[in-house]
A and B are shown apart, each in its own frame.
Chain A
């Protein structure tokens, strides 16, 4: 098929010397920008979150050549590469590292891989989305490349100029990268949403190149072994990109009561969130925690029930378009950020909402 021919034709021999698009010897005002995006994949396709970095990369400059780097082993990564090659028109190349060292995305071989690919490809920028994958790997890779990374970027003002939140989002810091290439950063997916249909036409498939397996040498010996992981409930919308989020706090009092939140979420087609207190109390698992050190969300509608509104929780949801708060305490800080506040008992309000809300479209 045409795609396969294109791939074979464009197979880059990465062990041959390549002219670096970012040449240190010829410093010119208009630097060439080329970006390496670290991609995450699952079940043979690219995770939507990874594409936020691609969307963000476009803000770095007009002519930014964006390559996506994938690592895995066997058919699943090869399938993901095929998906990556056509899932976003801005991706101009897909690089695949296929080895059993990458069966599971552990940081140590991944960081070494990024270092290797950077040494061969000389990118001006290396990016990842600021999720547990990017946060775990990119700083380690930055240390190997002797670069100060900029993490959790919410705005790109120029190829070396970024804005990031500090103090739980109560202040914004504008920082300039003044080092020599590469500039390394992670971006918040809520600040760079991925448009629903960004798949390009069939004729725009990016070439896929395979990293020469002999490059995974002795220094890739892994001292970290993946053992297991709990799997997320995939029936409900993903907290990170749901249009509506319904969150419960400690006032729910028990895991059993928390089911009311889940019912309301189901009625609205929403994702379920929780405060740190609710997770600590064991009402729900940790991946539902919204906050400074949990997930950052920015849905169209955020409904908080029995949530006091601590600074650390606000950090995770203050960028929501519409915030609704229901709390018995009229002085709860949450009412200071809520667009609509209802002072009342959630044990009465939620059943009433369940009864009166229109069915989701």
Chain B
């Protein structure tokens, strides 16, 4: 069974972002970029499944501009067998990404398609659900535990939901989106980084995949959130209680 993992190149999670003064977006030039943390977790899970003998190959895929190749190299260094880059320079919304991933899944026919539950730049939390809908595959979103039964061809997925944890049993092939506690991703070791240089990254364009990039959303502006009024440091519990009661009127 093949596992396909979609990974996204995003602004590093520790970066304090700045909104551009012309309100056209967030400043991303000269800013540290990394693999989306949830995508790292997805790739780690795929690698563990392969290492347990339940999958034969892990394919990392990424959709976006040429710099995506850097993120794919990191994925290959972590242990993915090969990678696919769908080159697209325009901003792609989740629906288009989902259509491209579906086209790739139709070609590669993986038993599992793993994505991060959300990208930390747009925080959309949509792509996994959308590609599952397009493929008509079952979905296990916000997964905190995945157990594969290759014989029965099912995946038992424990999910983090509002009320706690929910467990579903999905027929394969299936789409899984990862939540934070699914695993702790490995670091790429230096020998693996060297090996990754010779692994294959295949390129596609949306046209080659017969996907029409639809644009039904338009970003009007990007602004900063309202700033909070500066707070005060209190010196004692008594003062805190007094302020909460008599100034803020919350207790």
Contact = CB atoms under 8 A, between A and B. Distances in A.
B218 to A, nearest CB: 5
Interface in B195-251: 214-225, 228-229, 231-238, 240-241, 243-245, 248, 250-251
B161 A139 contact: no
A324 interface: yes
A356 B241 contact: yes
B121 A166 contact: yes
Contacts of A300: 250
B171 interface: yes
Interface in A125-158: 131-133, 135-144, 146-152
A168 interface: yes
Contacts of A357: 241, 251
A342 B237 contact: yes
Given A165-B123, A293-B179, A301-B251, A231 B130 contact: no
Contact of B237 (A175, A287, A349): A349
B187 interface: no
Contacts of B174: 223
Contacts of B192: none
A148 B214 CA distance: 9
A140 B216 contact: no
Q: Chain B contact residues: over half helix, strand or loop, or mixed? A: mixed
Contacts, number: 254
Interface residues of A, number: 86
Contacts of B250: 244, 300-301, 321-322
A176 B218 contact: yes
Residue of A175, A280, A323 with most partner-chain B CB within 10 A = A175
Contacts of B133: 111, 139-144
Interface string B45-81: 0000000000000000000000000000000000000
Contacts of A312: 13
A175 B248 contact: no
A342 B240 CA distance: 8
B95 A148 contact: yes
A268 interface: yes
Contacts of B126: 139, 142, 149, 151
A132 B251 contact: no
A292 interface: yes
A311 B220 contact: no
B251 A358 contact: yes
Contact of A340 (B122, B221, B231): B231
A217 interface: no
B145 to A, nearest CB: 11
B180 A276 contact: yes
Kindly state the interface size class of chain B when it binds its partner.
Answer: 35 or more
A202 interface: no
Contacts of A268: 251
A132 B142 contact: yes
Contacts of B98: 143
A135 B179 CA distance: 13
Residue of B121, B129, B221 with most partner-chain A CB within 10 A = B129
A356 B169 CA distance: 50
B181 A279 contact: yes
Contacts of A107: 129, 132, 139, 141
A301 to B, nearest CB: 4
B222 A177 contact: no
Given A232-B164, A324-B244, A349-B237, A176 B220 contact: yes
Contacts of A174: 219-223
Contact of A171 (B129, B130, B144, B223): B223
B217 A140 contact: no
A228 interface: yes
A222 B138 CA distance: 8
Contacts of A321: 250
Contacts of A139: 94, 125-127, 129-130, 133
B75 to A, nearest CB: 21
Interface stretch (A2-10, A92-100, A331-339): A331-339
A150 B139 CA distance: 20
25 contacts: A107-B141, A111-B133, A132-B163, A136-B141, A139-B129, A140-B133, A143-B132, A144-B134, A146-B214, A147-B216, A151-B125, A174-B221, A179-B216, A223-B171, A244-B251, A285-B164, A286-B144, A286-B181, A287-B161, A293-B117, A300-B250, A339-B232, A340-B244, A341-B234, A353-B237
Interface of B: 11, 13-14, 16-17, 19, 26, 38, 93-95, 98, 117-118, 120-127, 129-134, 137-142, 144, 156, 159-171, 174, 179-181, 214-225, 228-229, 231-238, 240-241, 243-245, 248, 250-251
